[in-house]
């Protein structure tokens, strides 16, 4: 009984198959992570978050300016 030898072409094909499986798995997990259909934050909460983000930048600048003036 002769056994087929594992050739370089076979190895390349196996690598391509495994890379395809990895890419498919990445896409599937990425879709699960980026799923925003549950709407965790309401519009009101998002507005508050934007205000807080702006204050995180403007607050220290205002503090430094007030500190320099007085």
Rounded CA-CA distance 25/32 in Å is 11
Q: In the predicted model, what is the mean pLDDT of residues 9-16?
A: 91
Instruction: Give the separation between CA 31 and CA 62, rounded to whole angstroms.
Output: 41
Q: What is the dihedral angle through the alpha carbons of 56, 59, 64, 66, rounded to the nearest 10 degrees?
A: 180
DSSP H stretches of helix in the chain? 8-33, 43-69
Cβ(49)–Cβ(41) under 8 Å? yes
Tens digit of each residue's pLDDT (9 = 90 or more) over 30-57: 655 555 566 677 778 888 888 999 999 9
């Amino acid at each position: 009984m002769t056994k087929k030898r594992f050739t370089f072409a076979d190895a390349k094909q196996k690598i391509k198959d495994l890379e395809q499986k990895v890419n498919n798995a990445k896409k599937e997990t990425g879709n699960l992570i980026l799923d925003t259909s549950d709407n965790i934050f309401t519009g009101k909460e998002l507005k508050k978050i934007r205000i807080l983000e702006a204050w995180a930048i403007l607050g220290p600048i205002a503090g430094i300016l007030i500190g320099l003036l007085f």
